[in-house]
Structure 1
């Protein structure tokens, strides 16, 4: 069994715990959170095999035989926790985004590269890459079944109440969280970049329209240009009551694909207009889709299975930290463009040209 400690016993930590509990080769051995009540509430979900509860990762690692550290703390704490875990010789998986700044994420990439040379596994959560719908579309694109990609539309039309932001002081802050594009839409940004390639240029606007007491945006829109010349529209909000399903559609010269609420809604390929969806939606998935409200946990379970295989066989996980840097750089390009009121090249962000831009000036 791969003994795992979850750092952060909040909403995301609970999802990780549920996924780990369902994997035959993983065990939740410890929980870490500065809020003792959060640890106790999550530990209560394991009455037959209670994990140890600790206020710091250092204490957990000293007291328990831990193999894997799952970092589910606020974003601004990710880098320090990953460094601590790798320095202690533990494998690590970190929630997306890697950090709120690219400077610290670039530093983390160097740290991870050294750790991988020592045989450690480091992965960043991109659970939607493992959705059967995403796998089918990625394979169709890679095989040329959609032809030359020409455009894409991605929308994250969600709703978050004022109480959601008020419940934790770090939410909606630039230091620890970021806005809707950073916190909620980053997984869709990751899929967009996986399908289309890293964008070369971003032109964006953002606003704060429905929430008070937060520093960041709750609405953002952007156009993206890719190396192939393809164009995309990206939209994200937590100000769209009551919240709708995420939608991602990709168009090419020989086919198109639509993923809606993590399900393959439409697929036409190889120059044939008919919908091929019924013949491909049963993509192999040994964990099954589960209940409709269970899809988030199953997505993490699929990725944990990939991480477990990498640990057991001494290989590399399918999603590495550098993949997370591409998604983060794209999000930061959105923020920089909105603040500077002009298109921003991704290379500018990767070089650190806009590390000191005041993103809040766009609001």
Structure 2
């Protein structure tokens, strides 16, 4: 029986708690830590856990705990993760992995030294439509991928950035690109790999209580000539989100939509129903994901601990996602075309470098300590369009 602790009892912690409770024969939540210890106790009471509330997370490091979920603001991820790994705990960290590439490298080094698992939350990979789409792309049935379109559309009201740590480069580490589109950017990199270069723009059009962006667009070029575009937003009503991949033979997307074309003699398109049927049949025969979202990722980590198998999303993968996002921030702030990789010599490699050089749209002048505990949105269900 693996013993679990959770650091941070904000809204996202409920997803972790609910996921662990799906595997009560494999693990038990024994502690929840929060600087507001009453919030930790409220979570324990809410889920009727046989656990204790802890104010100082360091109390957990010497205890018999196997796995720690970190559900705190991004600027805390690196020190918490390093401390937990060095104390011999496996660690699951909420997105984004950290606030800088330097911190990612510190976290990965700690994982390597300790021999413990470090997994970065990217729960959208553990959804049936996303898993199926990845398999379709890998099958080669679409031909070479020539264009990718990612629409990470969310909507957050002005008061969203009133929370004390949000909306600042120092504590949140960025805006919608880092903290919302991270899910879709992770999926893009999983499916297509890292582009060679990126040109980006960003703005703050609706939230004058935040230093960070609420809208960004990145234009991508891959080594093979393929292009892509990623739009990150918290100003899109309806929160429609999609990933579209155009292959040389067909087009597929999440939410699932399939089109295939062949050329008439004059080069104009006509439907290719045979290829559409072949791809659809392949898609339909792929298995359903047994556990979706956070539950799927926590099952993946528990299985890795139990069997020694690798996790699907490790610290290397988490760093790649952050590197892409930092590329957007660097390009949008400097006007430069940014080429990957980004290493320690880059001025955007450190938190201090980002805080100094990233565009500050507004200065945050007031804040609230806490919001009332209400439900949050964590992304599309990616159901097939009817």
Q: Taking structure 2 as the reference length, what is the TM-score of the superposition?
A: 0.83
Contact kept in structure 2, 1:225 and 1:231, CA below 8 Å: yes
Contact kept in structure 2, 1:200 and 1:226, CA below 8 Å: yes
Structure 1 residue 349 displacement after superposition: 5.4
Name the SS of the counterpart of 1:360 in structure 2: coil
Distance 2:123 2:261 in 1: 25
Match of 1:82 in 2: 81
Distance 1:40 1:86 in 2: 25
Name the SS of the counterpart of 2:326 in structure 1: helix
Structure 1 residue 283 displacement after superposition: 4.2
1:66 aligns with 2:62: no
Contact kept in structure 1, 2:258 and 2:276, CA below 8 Å: no
Match of 1:112 in 2: 111
Structure 1 residue 215 displacement after superposition: 1.0
Distance 2:17 2:231 in 1: 30
Residues 1-363 of structure 1: pairs in structure 2 closer than 5 A: 1-24=1-24, 25-47=26-48, 49-62=49-62, 64-116=63-115, 120-166=116-162, 168-177=163-172, 178-241=174-237, 243-260=238-255, 264-266=256-258, 272-274=274-276, 276-277=279-280, 280-281=283-284, 283-285=286-288, 287=290, 298-348=292-342, 351-355=345-349, 356-357=353-354, 358-361=357-360
What is the Cα-based RMSD across aligned positions, in Å? 2.2
Distance 1:267 1:220 in 2: 28
Query: Using a 3 Å threshold, how does the CA distance of structure 1 residues 267 and 4 change in structure 2: closer, same or farther?
Result: farther
Distance 2:5 2:346 in 1: 33
Which digits, 9 at most, give the CA deviation of each residue in 1:151-181, with x for residues without a partner? 0100111111122221x21011112211000
Match of 2:365 in 1: none
Name the SS of the counterpart of 2:244 in structure 1: strand
Distance 1:10 1:143 in 2: 40
Query: Using a 3 Å threshold, how does the CA distance of structure 1 residues 190 and 267 change in structure 2: closer, same or farther?
Result: farther
Match of 1:291 in 2: none
Distance 2:77 2:225 in 1: 34
Query: Using a 3 Å threshold, how does the CA distance of structure 1 residues 267 and 100 change in structure 2: closer, same or farther?
Result: farther
Which digits, 9 at most, give the CA deviation of each residue in 1:258-297, with x for residues without a partner? 103xxx3447699745365476357434646xxxxxxxxx
Match of 2:366 in 1: none
Contact kept in structure 2, 1:205 and 1:362, CA below 8 Å: no
Query: Using a 3 Å threshold, how does the CA distance of structure 1 residues 109 and 351 change in structure 2: closer, same or farther?
Result: farther
Which digits, 9 at most, give the CA deviation of each residue in 1:319-361, with x for residues without a partner? 1100001100000000000011121112245753433251125
Distance 1:61 1:254 in 2: 54
Distance 1:195 1:235 in 2: 17
Name the SS of the counterpart of 1:18 in structure 2: helix
Contact kept in structure 2, 1:19 and 1:301, CA below 8 Å: yes
Structure 1 residue 98 displacement after superposition: 1.2
Match of 2:384 in 1: none
Which digits, 9 at most, give the CA deviation of each residue in 1:167-211, with x for residues without a partner? x21011112211000000011001111111111111011011111
Bigger CA drift: 183-192 or 168-177?
168-177
Q: Taking structure 1 as the reference length, what is the TM-score of the superposition?
A: 0.88
> What is the number of residues matched between the two proteins?
344
Which digits, 9 at most, give the CA deviation of each residue in 1:212-255, with x for residues without a partner? 221100010110112222111100111123x3231101111122
Name the SS of the counterpart of 1:22 in structure 2: helix
Name the SS of the counterpart of 2:39 in structure 1: helix
* Structure 2: segments with no counterpart, 5+ residues: 263-271, 363-386
Name the SS of the counterpart of 2:46 in structure 1: coil
Structure 1 residue 133 displacement after superposition: 1.4
